[in-house]
Copies of this chain bind each other. A is one copy, B any other.
Amino acid sequence: MTRSYNSLGQFLDKVRRRSVLTAEEQSAILSLPVRAEQIPAHMDFVELGEHVDHACLIVHGLAGRFGQGREGNRQITALHIPGDMADLHSVVSPSATSALQALTTTTVVKIPHGAIRDIAARYPSIAQALWRECVIDAAILSEWVVNVGRRTASVRLAHLYCEMAYRYRLGEVTERMSFDFPATQHHLADMLGLTAVHVNRTLRVLEAADLVRLKRGVVEILSWARLIEYADFDPVYIQLNVTPLAPMRAG
């Protein structure tokens, strides 16, 4: 079968690393109706409290989920890269409890909840697979709590770079590699619970230790082995190199 490598294919590839799906189930996912949309940088494409009727799959660019405190101090709680369904959770919880914003120019594809709920109801294995994706997003969130709560600024930043490298590479890392990561230092600060100024200084610490090098939106990792050691990083929580979970079937 030649599968047109559309935006959904990218999503399906990731899902299949985690859940077993039959050919029929896979094609049900690939047949989901999509509507592409281009979002300019800094624009919310899901607003706080909004009642959404579609899920957003990131095709290109970078999106963040924003929580916020009273006095405008924003905190990014999750990051979504191409292939991620940024708000899959909205399928079962349609009123947005946090905003979704494009960090750079981003193209997303919108998929109606109705269509997703339809195939989830028809194929229990699909429901399980999507549920599982949400649970893995939660595991990442949980790691972010640890990161922000219990690590120093430089380790925190190193850990974030590890996670993003691992996710961009779908778990296929090499000792030396680089990846596009177009977040500003201010964005990094909002992910790490720091200030932009301190992120800047912290960046310099990592560079001085010859762990990473940065230029205009691309992160170059000089030694994966030393970086994960420094960052206290263990990729199991991202579940990209795992034996896919067998489907559930009605007994």
Give A contacts to B, CB under 8 Å: 49, 65, 67-70, 73-75, 77-78, 89, 92-95, 97-98, 117-118, 120-122, 124, 127-128, 130-132, 134-139, 141-146, 148-151, 192-193, 232, 236-237, 239, 242, 245, 248-251
Chain B residues lying within 8 Å of A136, measured Cβ to Cβ, are 93
Q: Contacts A142-B98, A236-B97, A245-B92 given: A122-B67 contact, CB under 8 Å?
A: no
Are B142 and A77 in touch, CB under 8 angstroms?
Answer: yes
Q: Contacts A77-B146, A134-B134, A146-B75 given: A69-B151 contact, CB under 8 Å?
A: yes
Q: How far is the CB of A220 from chain B (nearest CB, A)?
A: 25
CB-CB nearest in chain B for A87: B135
CB-CB nearest in chain B for A144: B145
Chain B residues lying within 8 Å of A193, measured Cβ to Cβ, are 148-150
Are A138 and B134 in touch, CB under 8 angstroms?
Answer: yes
Are B120 and A248 in touch, CB under 8 angstroms?
Answer: yes
CB-CB nearest in chain B for A48: B236
CB-CB nearest in chain B for A249: B121
Per the bound structure, the CA–CA distance linking A130 and B135 in Å amounts to: 11
Contact of A70 among B69, B75, B232, B248 (CB under 8 A): B232
Are B131 and A67 in touch, CB under 8 angstroms?
Answer: no
Q: How far is the CB of A123 from chain B (nearest CB, A)?
A: 9
Q: How far is the CB of A230 from chain B (nearest CB, A)?
A: 10
Are B237 and A97 in touch, CB under 8 angstroms?
Answer: yes
- Could you name 8 residue pairs across A and B whose Cβ atoms are closer than 8 Å? A69-B232, A74-B150, A97-B139, A97-B237, A121-B128, A131-B134, A145-B145, A148-B149
Are A245 and B93 in touch, CB under 8 angstroms?
Answer: yes
Chain B residues lying within 8 Å of A249, measured Cβ to Cβ, are 121
Q: How far is the CB of A100 from chain B (nearest CB, A)?
A: 12
Q: Contacts A120-B127, A145-B144 given: A150-B73 contact, CB under 8 Å?
A: yes
Per the bound structure, the CA–CA distance linking A98 and B159 in Å amounts to: 17
Chain B residues lying within 8 Å of A74, measured Cβ to Cβ, are 150
Chain B residues lying within 8 Å of A138, measured Cβ to Cβ, are 89, 134, 137-138, 141
Q: How far is the CB of A138 from chain B (nearest CB, A)?
A: 4
Are B145 and A77 in touch, CB under 8 angstroms?
Answer: yes
Are B150 and A75 in touch, CB under 8 angstroms?
Answer: yes
Q: How far is the CB of A159 from chain B (nearest CB, A)?
A: 9
Q: How far is the CB of A106 from chain B (nearest CB, A)?
A: 20
Chain B residues lying within 8 Å of A149, measured Cβ to Cβ, are 75, 148, 192-193
